[in-house]
Amino acid sequence: MSKFLILMKTSYKQKVTSKSFLFGTLLYLLVLTGAAFWPQISAALFNDEAQIVTVVNETGSDLQELLISSDDFIYTFVDTNIDDVTKNIGKDDITLHITDENGVLSANLYSFDPLPLNDETAILSTLDYANKIYAVQQLNLTAEDANNILNAVPMTKTTVLNEDVNNNKSEGAKSAGVWISYVVGVIIFAFIMTYLTMIITEVASEKGSRALEMLLVSIKPTTHFNAKIAAIFALALTQGAVIGLYGFTVFNFTGDGQAMDVMQTIFADVSSTYMFFTLAFLIGTVLLYVIIGALFGSLVAKVEEANQVMSPIMMVTLAGFYIMLSGTFNPDTLLITISSFIPLISGMVLPLRLAGTDMSIIEAWISLGILMTSIIVLYAMSLSFYKRAVLTYSTGGLLQKIKTILKVTS
């Protein structure tokens, strides 16, 4: 045990003080800082002053109640000929010419330079809403009555008669859970890419430099395997803790705590059960890939071959990531359901399905059980294979390496 702790501490200290780890952690912290101070950053980078839109109204009706000004656009009505307005239009001026065509609004938007797509879309959206109210007003209704008709929302309630289905989630809870699942999926993907690469290259580097042969004179291969996994996994937990604590601090003390209030509102909509499963799948998935990384690192003879063994597992990870992205729009598909039980990608998919659908908690426990069982089985298999592969040098593709190792060590 003492050799295990010494090797683990040495590997952990070496990695936690490395430039790559510090730079990666700093990058995450900068992203969190940018998110927390985004209102101030956007105010400095972008012009927040409302733009004046000059409106030439030739409909004969009062449109001032229909074209409502906002923080982005202020609609100013002028009693001028449209030719006079467009003749003297400036570089930053916007003019909206509105006429009546058979009871509906007909508009022509003038600007000196092409408008940004977002600005043009926003103005046309406001005009589209105004046109609907204007058309209803032709029925001799007031603008208030027309607005009430267009904004009338039906009172709906969904009742599921199957008592085995968990149907207690509100729309807000589902939306909040989907967003949290998306963030967790991105974190899992980033951590897998980082620590899978790290452990594969570290084991391959020791093996390629023949330093591992000297090391295994005094310790068992199983001790080395366990120490590497423990060190990298502890490193991942350390980085996660630093990011989490910094995120809590920066969001809590910026903008008078408004950012933290928003975060609390989001997390208030999700249950403690969902948070438990999300955290369990996050930790379990990272541990699973760390074990795979240690095994794959023992297959290569030098660092240059690391990419060769990383490609298949990265393809699986990318597939899981894109499946998760597809599920953010529709988490009820058969692809999402099946993927939530596949241990290599369930960490990214199941929290999304658990949040965005009314799946049974029993299914979540089954998926978690599959993941935990996979970790145990893969650990036992990897430990046995690692003892054979770590001091075996072979060439060829991944399958060829495995065949050679099994042949030599049988």
Q: HSE of 205 in the Cβ direction (CA atoms, 13 Å)?
A: 7
How many whole angstroms separate alpha carbon 86 and alpha carbon 107?
14
Q: Amino acid identity of 287?
A: L
Sign of the dihedral defined by the CA atoms of residues 307, 309, 312, 318, in that order: negative
The phi, psi pair for 272, rounded to 5°, reads: -65, -30
Q: HSE of 223 in the Cβ direction (CA atoms, 13 Å)?
A: 15
**Two tokens at 28?**
């995450």
Domain 49-150 of CATH type 3.40.50.300: no
**Cβ-based neighbours of 261, under 8 Å, separated by 6 or more:** none
- Tell which residue, 280, 273, 295, has the closest CA to residue 372: 280
How many whole angstroms separate alpha carbon 118 and alpha carbon 314?
37
Q: Are 319 and 221 in contact (CB under 8 A)?
A: no
Rg of the chain's alpha carbons, rounded to an integer? 30
User: What per-residue confidence (pLDDT) applies to 54?
Assistant: 83
Residue showing tokens 């050799």:
3
Domain ranges of the chain: 2-39+170-409, 49-150
Q: Please provide the DSSP assignment of 233-259 as one string.
A: HHHHHHHHHHHHHHHHHHHHSSGGGHH
**Two tokens at 367?**
């998926």
How many whole angstroms separate alpha carbon 205 and alpha carbon 392?
14
Mean per-residue pLDDT pooled into runs of 10, the chain (410 residues):
78 85 88 76 64 82 79 81 76 81 81 78 82 74 68 59 54 71 85 84 68 63 81 89 86 66 66 85 90 79 70 86 85 88 90 82 92 92 73 59 57
Beta strands in 62-193 (DSSP E): 73-78, 94-101, 104-111
How many whole angstroms separate alpha carbon 133 and alpha carbon 25?
53
**Two tokens at 300?**
């290569």
In the chain, what is the straight-line distance between the N-terminal and C-terminal CA atoms, in Å? 29
Reduce the secondary structure of 36-76 to three states and give it as a string.
Answer: HCHHHHHHHHCCCCCEEEEEEECCCCCCCCCCCCCCCEEEE
Helix 306-327 × helix 398-409 angle, to 10°: 120
How many whole angstroms separate alpha carbon 57 and alpha carbon 73?
17
**Two tokens at 72?**
């982005």
Q: Are 66 and 134 in contact (CB under 8 A)?
A: yes
Q: What is the model's pTM?
A: 0.69
Residue showing tokens 């030739």:
58
